[in-house]
Structure 1
Amino acid sequence: MGCFSSKHRKTQNDGGGERSIPIIPVQTHIVDQVPDHRKPQIPSPSIPISVRDPETILGKPFEDIRKFYSLGRELGRGGLGITYMCKEIGTGNIYACKSILKRKLISELGREDVKTEIQIMQHLSGQPNVVEIKGSYEDRHSVHLVMELCAGGELFDRIIAQGHYSERAAAGTIKSIVDVVQICHLNGVIHRDLKPENFLFSSKEENAMLKVTDFGLSAFIEEGKIYKDVVGSPYYVAPEVLRQSYGKEIDIWSAGVILYILLCGVPPFWADNEEGVFVEILKCKIDFVREPWPSISDSAKDLVEKMLTEDPKRRITAAQVLEHPWIKGGEAPEKPIDSTVLSRMKQFRAMNKLKKLALKVSAVSLSEEEIKGLKTLFANMDTNRSGTITYEQLQTGLSRLRSRLSETEVQQLVEASDVDGNGTIDYYEFISATMHRYKLHHDEHVHKAFQHLDKDKNGHITRDELESAMKEYGMGDEASIKEVISEVDTDNALSPVEIMREVALEIGVPVNTFKQNNVQEDGLYLPVLNNAA
């Protein structure tokens, strides 16, 4: 499950976007409470958008970024583009360059989002826990954001690599995260997509600073405005976002979810699919009973509960979090957290990376009769019979067919479709991105998908078989593929429960089809996670 907004962006190390969610029509009214004297003036673009060149986004002349930077190896791919390592030609300094393909910005809203992202990064420039923007460039095909390179990796990567940590260490991590939230709020910004992947360490040094990145979903706080855009990432989204009426308090909720995961290894709200996760979030029942919670300090549980308070008016503020005894008063013990928490955290992170592959393999298993309508739809859009469609062809085709998809849903489809990130959508990418919309979720498809991967038919998928499949479907280079596999598999034998549950959760198949005698279902926790418990 990834971001579910039309404004979806990715971090330096992120993988890909996902699908839309149902809107739950429950209304509340949340108004920003920041006092006037602490509300900064929202900056305006330094150069107005040119009316003479309809292709420009940043409102300034096109520039060839290669005159200033040499682009190096790829750092990651997202729904809208690719992030590279780059070297400044004049100084030799190393940065990260996020290149956003303009043809994927299919609406004026998408173009405005890119401008807002740049404005916010410039507005927060100089803040210690925020990734620094170096500059922005635009050519006929892309918008390029050059920013500080955080070479220390993602938050969970470092925790897992260390192999152990304590409540005291978790308290230090949350302090850094909430420091960022406070900085954003005091500077008139809601981040709106706080999650572990968006926190990077500045370097590999032990004392490296933790920094927030990816302001693609962020917004400026406007006095009295009630925000309604459904944005964020499923596990971390606040209930008032689902109700389409929220303010800056949502960032504290997301930080509270991260704290919960730090302490027990899995999210507080879990279900068999995204829609189920949202239902659990709206119920807002937090589990402090299962392991390891009995051994977690009461002070830590108190803070989690206050950060995950359903009513945003009663939810603890960033300033109050930083004054909480578990953070400030030294109540977080040095006692190591149980190692099973790290195992759960590692598997929770890694299994998400297989979902794109799972969807695409599942699309292969559909019969011609089942996908006849989708096949015709694709053929009508593929006007030059190339076997692929561009984003322009997708947009034109949906418009011509009088599709009922909203602009937001079309953008989500665009971002979710291009699995291999090559700038076009092939037949199976199109099928995998649309199959859930047309209810093509039968358990036999999941079994067929597993059989497709299990080349030697021994009931398990080996590393070699998974690596071969990921290469077959263009799921990254050899190094990145090996990294995903090593995180998911520890015994060179992925069982149907381990990999096909991910297929089931992604396309909406009941998961009880995949129980095995040696795997015990345990409430909200994933069976694969229970194996480590």
Structure 2
Amino acid sequence: MGGDQRRWRGDRWRVNDEKELERMCHPLRSLGKEIGKGQFGITYIYKEKSTGKKYACKKIPKRKLVTANQKEALKREVKFMNELSGEELFVELKDVYEDNKHVYLVMEHCEGGELYQKMKSNGRYSEKVAAQILSSIMKVVYCLHFMGIMHRDLKPENFVLAKKGASPCSVDYTSLKAIDFGLSAYIDEGKPSQEKVGTAFYVAPEVLKRKPYGLKIDIWSAGVILYILLTGVPPFYGENEMEIFEAVKIAKPDMESHPWPLISENAKTLVKAMLSEDPTTRPTAAAVFNYQWMKDNGVATENPVDTKFLVKMKHIRAMNKFKKLALQKLTEMILEEEFKKTRTMFRNFHTNEQIVLSREELEKSLDRIGEGIGPEEAKEIVEAADADGNGYIDYNEFITAMTNIKQHKEENLRRAFNQFHKGSNG
């Protein structure tokens, strides 16, 4: 268990020695029982040796991280969990480790278990409890959307309860926390997403129809969860995934059969609004809290998230926007003759300069074209190119990254900086 284990720090892996691994209690040393299973990994109890404190450890086999997109999803999850650190709505990430065969995410342990398991055993909920659960979910959505982040895979399996109830009948649904940000992405208002992501029962119709989509896909998914909370069954059903997808595309949930005659009109109004086929007519996360049904059940609020945390999120969001603007300025300032060659390379991949490249596609294309670019440099280019962390490289990102690596990096960065601060002396 020596120097082949590494800990994640910022955006680089750093090799630890045996003593540091012992001090940090590498999760390989004492994994306990299995508490969850996902597409890429299994989550176990991990008991820290020095303190006896319990954590959740997600163990991900590297053999399941085959494509560039899969690897990027893991990096994205770590990035978002780090950015959202400090807010009780999100499971806290303690550390990330890797060895030759696995990657380990060591997280806060939530003793209450998955929301999914509670819903599965409970069936339908009273409107009051359903409103409490929806309120907790919408606080998460509100916070993410404030940051300009789409979760893109909201479902009961991705929420856990921080506390264990004194009995099965006394569950504290106000302690819900969000997990799993592998499919999450920043929204680019100028270029709406069209990538097909999500889980069958909860995915929005515009995603399946390959239409441009944005933050409102999360509102749809939350609406599906609310429907299940109130009825005990999903709004769209089929014998297989394709049948479910077809039902979702039609977007006509049954609001007449039992138990809907027993459910209040105010609840129906909110469900219909959240499951509107037209995303532009779905309410925002903030607007959901102002619906009469939320007021009726005592969970309406003007301030869903702590103000101090929003200030922190606002700062992070501003810095992300600044980085993107700086990259665009850099590209604009680079002389035409400096990147003719790299533009030609991009055109060799696609004929339309507005088309985006996947990270995997770019790596393969760089290798195919050659140009004296070795594997390590190709990887460096791809890492640098994906500036917004969405797994794809557009033309500006490509040109910027290539120029940074190949030509006049310091000079061009200075010129870009001067666009923001005229007359700067350094």
TM-score by length of 2: 0.62
Q: SS where residue 113 of structure 2 aligns?
A: coil
Number of the residue aligned with 2:290: 323
Output the CA distance in 1 between the equivalents of 2:92 and 2:42.
18
Flag the 1:62–1:99 CA change in 2: closer, same or farther, 3 A: farther
Question: Quick check: 2:125–2:231 contact (8 Å CA) kept in 1?
Answer: no
Number of the residue aligned with 1:107: 67
Partner amino acid for 1:179?
Answer: K
1:89 positional shift: 2.2
Output the CA distance in 2 between the equivalents of 1:114 and 1:327.
35
Q: SS where residue 60 of structure 1 aligns?
A: strand
Mapping for residues 68-79 of structure 1, pairs under 5 Å: 68=25, 69=27, 70-79=30-39
**Once structures 1 and 2 are overlaid, which stretch shifts more, 212-221 or 172-181?**
212-221
Select 1:95's aligned residue among 48, 55, 59: 55
1:207 positional shift: 3.0
Number of the residue aligned with 2:141: 181
Select 1:140's aligned residue among 86, 92, 100: 100
Select 1:269's aligned residue among 236, 251, 258: 236
Output the CA distance in 1 between the equivalents of 2:154 and 2:124.
24
Question: Quick check: 1:237–1:254 contact (8 Å CA) kept in 2?
Answer: yes
Select 1:284's aligned residue among 251, 260, 268: 251
Q: How many pairs are equivalent?
A: 281
Output the CA distance in 1 between the equivalents of 2:246 and 2:120.
30
Question: Quick check: 1:228–1:241 contact (8 Å CA) kept in 2?
Answer: yes
Q: SS where residue 293 of structure 2 aligns?
A: coil
Number of the residue aligned with 2:340: none
Number of the residue aligned with 1:260: 227
Partner amino acid for 1:291?
Answer: H
Select 2:275's aligned residue among 308, 316, 319: 308
Flag the 1:47–1:134 CA change in 2: closer, same or farther, 3 A: closer
Select 1:227's aligned residue among 193, 213, 216: 193
Select 1:200's aligned residue among 149, 155, 160: 160
1:61 aligns with 2:15: yes
Output the CA distance in 2 between the equivalents of 1:163 and 1:153.
17
Flag the 1:267–1:300 CA change in 2: closer, same or farther, 3 A: same
Flag the 1:242–1:163 CA change in 2: closer, same or farther, 3 A: closer
Structure with higher helix content = 2
1:296 positional shift: 0.6
Q: SS where residue 105 of structure 2 aligns?
A: strand
Question: Quick check: 1:63–1:139 contact (8 Å CA) kept in 2?
Answer: no
Name stretches of at least 5 consecutive residues in structure 2 with no aligned partner.
1-7, 166-170, 300-359, 362-426
Number of the residue aligned with 2:183: 217
1:83 aligns with 2:37: no
Which segments of structure 1 move beyond 6 Å, counting only runs of 4 or more? 62-66
Flag the 1:275–1:60 CA change in 2: closer, same or farther, 3 A: same
Bigger relative CO (Cα 8 Å, ≥ 6 apart): 1
Question: Quick check: 1:152–1:203 contact (8 Å CA) kept in 2?
Answer: yes
1:249 aligns with 2:187: no
Flag the 1:308–1:222 CA change in 2: closer, same or farther, 3 A: same
Output the CA distance in 2 between the equivalents of 1:81 and 1:165.
31
Q: Percent identity?
A: 49
Instruction: After superposition, give the CA deviation of every residue in 1:238-295 in whole Å (9 maximum; x if it has no partner).
Output: 0111122211111110000011111111111112322121111111112111111111
Flag the 1:161–1:233 CA change in 2: closer, same or farther, 3 A: closer
Question: Quick check: 1:124–1:187 contact (8 Å CA) kept in 2?
Answer: no
Output the CA distance in 2 between the equivalents of 1:102 and 1:86.
20
Number of the residue aligned with 2:389: none
Number of the residue aligned with 1:119: 79
Question: Quick check: 1:62–1:138 contact (8 Å CA) kept in 2?
Answer: no
Partner amino acid for 1:306?
Answer: A
TM-score by length of 1: 0.50
Partner amino acid for 2:199?
Answer: S
